[in-house]
Amino acid sequence: MSEPLELSRRRFGLLAGAAAVAPLLPSRAAPTLLPAGMAWQLMWSPSAGANGMGAWESIEDDRADSHPAGAPHIRPEGDNYRFTMHTADRDTSTDRQRHEVTGNRTSSSAFLRWRSGELWRVTYSMYIPATLKATTTFTHIFQTKMPGTGTSPITVTSLRRVSGRQTIEHKVFEPDILVGRTDLEPLHDRWIDIDYEIRIGDGSSGGVRWVVRNGGSTVIDVTRTGVDTFLGDRVRPKWGIYRSLGDTSGSLQNCHLLLTRLRSYKAVAQ
């Protein structure tokens, strides 16, 4: 028997179905993309302990079944979501590795849809161990994409080696627009906080803001407007480890990534 709708909503926490009673949050410190007269409406706030893998619209855990002995590669671990990558793991495209989750599930039968013209914000805490290193080719740990196979990312947060230096960066994927970049090594082996805004727009009507905080310090706070953040249909976020095997720095090793306190907000009129 299916679960009653209100019970399902309560089990998934403060979600889209209960958004009418969710508090409105004012903007954070400038520079935010949030216009005057708008506020952040909390739409999604899963708990790894309570919701488990039901927090996600879809799960891409070893799609090629390359390493069943290591499964599950994505799992709840206490209050955190853990993504484990082994050097033996392979995606269906065998030159890369992928363990990712997508979207914001709000009940057993519903998930959020980010549409053109809307402004969304996601916040989360992330633990990157020193074993998860920046590489000379792509290592993405967050993406926004249009659903569907074969579509390119819209924006990406990546761990990239630049002149031998390990960095974490955020880009608008096409046409390779760097929003911001900072050193990765000081952020290894500690919890850091991410605050991300995306105004979904075609052509030059989109914008992004990417903030990384380490404890009480803001490491980087960058905004880029006048960019294309829409391909078609809708946009959805992805988290996890997606990396190329073409690294030439010797940085690929068994590793993991931890996420917790994930939240999604939509900009609404006050």
Q: What is the DSSP string of the chain?
A: -PPPHHHHHHHT-S-GGGGGGSPEEPP-SSS-SPPTTEEEEEEE---HHHHGGGG-SEEEE-TT---GGG--SEEEETTEEEEEE-TT---SSTTEEEEEEES-EEETTEE--B-TT-EEEEEEEEE--TTS--BSS-EEEEEEE-SSTTPPEEEEEEEEEETTEEEEEEEETTTTEEEEEEESGGGTTSEEEEEEEEE--STT-EEEEEEEEETTEEEEEEEEEEE----SS-BEEEEEEEEES--SSS---SEEEEEEEEEEEEEEE-
CATH of the domain spanning 5-269, picked from 2.60.120.200, 1.20.120.420, 2.70.70.10, 2.40.10.10: 2.60.120.200
- Report the pLDDT value the prediction gives residue 150, as an integer from 0 to 100: 80
Two tokens, residue 236: 């959805």
Find the distance separating the first CA and the last CA of the chain, reported in whole Å: 39
Furthest CA-CA distance within the chain: 58
Q: Where are the domains of the chain?
A: 5-269
Q: What is the pLDDT along the chain (270 residues), one digit of tens a residue?
A: 334 444 344 445 546 654 444 555 544 445 699 999 999 999 999 999 999 999 999 999 999 999 999 999 999 999 999 999 999 999 999 999 999 999 999 999 999 999 999 999 999 999 999 999 999 999 999 999 999 988 899 999 999 999 999 999 999 999 999 999 999 999 999 999 999 999 999 999 999 999 999 998 999 999 999 999 999 999 999 999 999 999 999 999 999 999 999 999 999 999
Instruction: Assess contact for 93 and 244: CB atoms under 8 A.
Output: no
Exposed / middle / buried, residue 4 (Cβ in 10 Å: 0-12, 13-18, 19+): exposed
d(CA 160, CA 142): 13
d(CA 131, CA 83): 13
This prediction's pTM: 0.91
Q: Return the ∠ at Cα 121 (arms to 239 and 53), rounded to 5°.
A: 35
Instruction: Assess contact for 40 and 121: CB atoms under 8 A.
Output: yes
